[in-house]
């Protein structure tokens, strides 16, 4: 019960958050930020709480930020 399941293949925008954001709820962390739908490809470092994202339509736009997890509890903000 103290574990978090990290998953992809369900884009976070389908879970109700903006496509560049990660989703967290009930012990689950969604990290698919919609590359297959024309949004972002993300890399997540859970140890440091850093999320790297690259726009698939404008690949020169790379962002690095502290993880922004909508609805999170117990994970880095």
Domain boundaries, the chain: 5-70
Burial 9-47 (b: 16+ CB within 10 A, else e): eebbbebebebbbbbbeeeebbbbbbbeeebbbbebeee
pLDDT at 26: 83
| pLDDT grade for 8, boundaries at 50, 70 and 90 | very high
Mean pLDDT estimate for the chain = 85
Residue 67 pLDDT: 78
Where does the pLDDT of residue 27 fall: very low under 50, low under 70, confident under 90, or very high at 90 and above?
confident
Q: What is the pLDDT of residue 4?
A: 85
Give the separation between CA 55 and CA 41, rounded to whole angstroms. 7
- pLDDT band for 22, please (50, 70, 90 cuts): very high
Which residues face 69 on adjacent strands? 22
DSSP 14-45: GGTS-TTSEEEETTEEE---BGGGTSEEEEEE
């Amino acid at each position: 019960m103290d574990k978090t399941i990290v998953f992809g293949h369900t884009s976070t925008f389908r879970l109700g958050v903006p496509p560049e954001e990660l989703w967290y709820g009930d012990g689950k962390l969604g990290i698919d930020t919609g590359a297959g739908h024309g949004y972002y490809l993300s890399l997540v470092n859970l140890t440091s709480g850093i999320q790297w994202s690259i726009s698939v339509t404008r690949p020169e736009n790379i962002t690095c930020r502290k993880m922004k997890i909508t609805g999170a509890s117990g994970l880095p903000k």
